[in-house]
């Protein structure tokens, strides 16, 4: 049985109570208020549900993560970065990025990024928690991602691509920038082939919890702009 959340409290059950099947389902109900969302991420919990259904809260085991300095850039992606003309920015088009992430994909018309979710994360962006990465080509937004930054951790939510390699280029630039700033981990939540190709992989929930305990309350002082270039990204180790 999963727990239904108290609408008057932002407390979550311990993540060790999450179900094995479906993997990581922890609780249901509540709302998407900024306070509840912040409490959820601090505990290693995120919302994921279909529009029209109750809000579901998850903490899967294992967790898909990426240490920024271990981002994988294939030979073909390095070549694409060198040969592609683009501009990359932070936080200049958050609403456009989340709308693009919510748009239908080639393989499905469904989306879990409902209008309710978009409004909730836009409010977190307004409060300085949520951030977006934008990749521009010829003045057009062609790729990007968004998520939540807390301490030395970034909790990735979704990415999109309207041009070949656009989301991959945005992600590897982002990972290199977080590495420079001293971030410890990018939470990718759930494994997929796209993330695995970029170097992400599974860690046990208990290990992920250690990252939370050790890094959430570390304050980093930086502004949200890119101060790296192509040669920093495609460097050889």
Residues 129 and 168 placed together within one structural domain of the fold: yes
Gap between the Cα atoms of 179 and 71, Å rounded: 10
Same domain, 17 and 120: no
Tell me: do 50 and 97 sit in the same domain: no
Structure token pair of residue 6: 């108290």
- Residues with Cβ within 8 Å of residue 146, at least 6 apart in sequence: 94, 97, 98, 101, 121, 125, 130, 131, 132, 133, 157, 158, 159
Contact 136, 150 (CB under 8 A): no
Where residue 106 sits, what CATH number does that domain have? Answer: 3.40.630.70
Task: Yes or no: say if 168 and 195 are a contact pair by the CB < 8 Å rule.
Answer: no
The residue range of the domain holding 162 is 64-233
The per-residue pLDDT for range 29-72, each reduced to its tens digit, is 999 999 999 999 999 999 999 988 999 999 999 999 999 999 99
Query: Quick one: average pLDDT of 221-231?
Result: 95
Claim: this prediction has a pTM higher than 0.85: yes
The CATH number of residue 28's host domain is 3.30.70.3550
Instruction: Say if residue 164 is in the same domain as residue 50.
Output: no
Cα separation, 216 vs 174, in Å, equals: 19
The pLDDT value recorded for residue 235 is 84
The Cα 67–Cα 201 span in angstroms is: 9
Please indicate, yes or no, whether residues 86 and 169 belong to a single structural domain of this protein. Answer: yes
Rounded average pLDDT over 99-120? 80
β-sheet with 56-58: strand ranges across: 3-4, 25-28, 56-58, 46-47
Domains identified in the chain, total number: 2
pLDDT exceeds cutoff 50 at 107 = no
- Encoded tokens for 133: 């990465």
Tokens linked to 156: 């990735």
Give the start-end residues of each E strand in 8-139: 25-28, 46-47, 56-58, 63-66, 87-90, 130-137
């Amino acid at each position: 049985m999963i727990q239904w959340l108290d609408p008057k409290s932002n407390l979550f059950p311990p993540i060790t109570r999450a179900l094995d099947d479906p993997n990581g389902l922890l609780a249901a109900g509540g709302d998407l208020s900024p306070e509840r969302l912040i409490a959820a991420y601090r505990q290693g919990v995120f919302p994921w549900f279909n529009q029209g259904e109750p809000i579901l809260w998850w903490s899967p085991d294992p967790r898909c993560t990426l240490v920024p300095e271990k981002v994988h850039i294939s030979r073909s992606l390095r070549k694409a970065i060198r040969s592609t003309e683009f501009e990359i920015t932070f936080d200049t088009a958050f609403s456009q990025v989340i709308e693009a992430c919510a748009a239908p994909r080639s393989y499905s018309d469904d989306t879990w990024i409902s209008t309710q979710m978009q409004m909730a994360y836009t409010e977190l962006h307004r409060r300085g928690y949520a951030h977006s990465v934008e990749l521009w080509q010829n003045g057009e937004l062609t790729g990007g991602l968004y998520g939540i930054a807390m301490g030395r951790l970034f909790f990735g939510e979704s990415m999109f691509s309207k041009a070949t390699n656009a989301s991959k280029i945005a992600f590897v630039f982002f990972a290199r920038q977080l590495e420079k700033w001293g971030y410890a981990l990018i939470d990718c939540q759930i494994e997929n082939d796209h993330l695995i190709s970029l170097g992400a992989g599974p860690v046990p929930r208990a290990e992920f919890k250690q990252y939370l305990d050790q890094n959430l309350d570390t304050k980093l002082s930086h502004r949200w702009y890119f101060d790296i270039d192509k040669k920093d990204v495609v460097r050889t180790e």
